[in-house]
Amino acid sequence: MQDSRGRMVFTALIALILTVLPLPSWLSLVRPEFLVLTVLYWSIASPRTGGIGLAFFSGIMLDVFQGPVLGEHAMALSLVSYIAVREHQKIRSKPAFQQSLIVFAALVTYEFVLFAIDGWTKHPVTSPLRWTHTLSGAIFWAPVAAVLAASGERRR
């Protein structure tokens, strides 16, 4: 189990780098939240090892990089991860397309939590563009999940 935890941290780090990698602005608009997808994947694939703790610490790192308030992304990611861990058996058994839909719903929840916290902490960003990544995230879910699964296969 130890190596599996290391793999999670490793993939989360890669996802974090992908998330903060500077891109041209039109590209960064459609960039999916790789870290959220990764956390979701591990919450579903191995809810015992990964899950909410991974989500929390990944969220803290996201906050350091791009959060107006520390703890914001940690909160949102923990919530999404909690839902995924609770329902992991149901989600796992779904076909890829339905998984994408579920991921879309999870991403919308995630963004909504961020939106709400942004509002409460008086950093409101009301631009509709902030929601675009939920769609691209749903589209990217299948390849991301495939890559993460493959990484697990090879290491084992």
Partner 1 sequence: MAAFGTGASRPLSGRGGSPGFRFTLYATASIVIMFMDQRGEWLERVHYVLDAAAYPIQLAVSSPSAAWQWLKETIETRDALRAENARLLLRQRELELRAMRYEALALENDRLRGLRDALPSVAERWLIAEVVDIQLSSLRQRVLVNRGTSNGVFKGQAVLDDRGLLGQTTHVGPWSAEVILITDPEHAVPVEIQRTGLRTIAVGTGDTASLALPYLPANADVKAGDVLMTSGLGGVFPAGYPVGRVVEVHRDAVQPLAQVRAVPYAHMDLDREVMLVWFREGHPAAPVATTGDIKSGNSAMQPQPAPPRPKPASPDQTPGTAQHGPAASQGAAAAPGAAAAPGAAAAPGTAAPGAGRTPGSGAAPGAAPSAVPTPGDAAVIPPAPKAPKKPATPVLPEPSDEESPPYETDAPVKPTPKEPPPVVPDNGPRTP
Residue 74 or 95: the one with the smaller Cβ distance to partner 1 is 74
Angle between helices 52-66 and 2-20 (to 10 degrees): 30
Among 35, 37, 74, 91, binds partner 1 (CB under 8 A): 74
Contact 49, 150 (CB under 8 A): no
**Would you give the DSSP letter of residue 18?**
H
3-state secondary structure of 46: coil
Site string for partner 1, 17-36 (x = CB under 8 A): x--xxx--x--xx-------
Among residues 15, 35, 36, 85, the one that binds partner 1 under rule CB under 8 A: 85
Contacts of 148 (CB under 8 A, 6+ apart): 11, 38, 41, 42, 45
Binding site for partner 1 (CB under 8 A): 1, 5, 8-9, 13, 16-17, 20-22, 25, 28-29, 47-57, 59-61, 64-66, 68-72, 74-75, 78-79, 81-82, 85-86, 117, 121, 123, 125, 127, 129-130
